[in-house]
């Protein structure tokens, strides 16, 4: 393989990853007494993201964090939940270590002009150790909901935070 080809491959891979990173960023991490006290993850969108069946079981967010024993506050925010089908109900579920902990629902009667931001908050007791916090939306369909819908000139956001509030 020539040097030019190798460099081209490296640049293409790096460019792709840079593009991905500008969309998905782990941007905040505060540690307290040796454990992760607050973690924020945020994704940024300039165009709509549709949650389609083709995406499979890939969650919206997944955070692995070491906690102290106590209570952890978990929240998920999306700047616009856009139903795209009539008479459809969607569920957003929070999983901790693979176990469903809490869910919220969003209805779509007409499947258009029913947009709105969504904030989910939940407190969960955890033991000391590493835990996996996941947010996922169901059902996925060919006409997947917009999470978020956004227009050019605006900034759609989708974020998840995990905060140790009692340790």
Question: Across-strand partners of 73?
Answer: 123, 163
User: Does 31 engage in binding with another protein (CB under 8 A)?
Assistant: yes
User: Does 34 engage in binding with another protein (CB under 8 A)?
Assistant: yes
Minimum distance between the CB of residue 43 and another protein, rounded to whole angstroms? 11
CB closer to another protein out of 9 and 53: 9
Binding mask 94-133 for another protein (x = CB under 8 A): ---------------xx-xxxxxx-x--------------
Query: Strands (DSSP E) along the chain, which ranges?
Result: 24-32, 35-45, 61-67, 70-81, 88-96, 99-108, 116-126, 129-138, 156-166
Cβ within 8 Å of residue 82, ≥6 positions away: 48, 114, 115, 145, 146, 147, 148, 149
Minimum distance between the CB of residue 151 and another protein, rounded to whole angstroms? 7
Could you give phi then psi for residue 15, rounded to 5 degrees?
-65, -45
Report the interface residues with another protein, using CB under 8 A.
Answer: 3, 6-7, 10-11, 13-14, 17-18, 20-21, 24-34, 36-42, 63-64, 77, 79-80, 82, 109-110, 112-117, 119, 148-151, 153-157, 159, 161
């Amino acid at each position: 393989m020539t040097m030019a080809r190798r460099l081209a491959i490296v640049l293409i891979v790096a460019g792709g990853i840079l593009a991905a990173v500008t969309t998905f960023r782990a941007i905040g991490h505060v540690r307290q007494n040796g454990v992760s006290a607050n973690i924020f993850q945020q994704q940024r969108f300039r165009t709509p993201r549709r949650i389609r069946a083709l995406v499979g079981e890939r969650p919206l967010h997944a955070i692995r964090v070491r906690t102290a024993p106590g209570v952890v506050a978990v929240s998920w925010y999306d700047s616009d939940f856009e139903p795209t089908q009539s008479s459809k109900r969607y569920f957003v579920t929070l999983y901790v270590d693979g176990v469903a902990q809490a869910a919220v629902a969003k209805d779509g009667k007409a499947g258009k002009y029913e947009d709105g931001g969504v904030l989910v908050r939940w407190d969960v007791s955890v033991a000391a150790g590493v835990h996996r916090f996941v947010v996922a939306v169901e059902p996925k369909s060919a006409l997947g909901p917009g999470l978020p819908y956004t227009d050019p000139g605006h900034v759609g956001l989708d974020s998840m935070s995990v905060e140790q509030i009692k340790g």
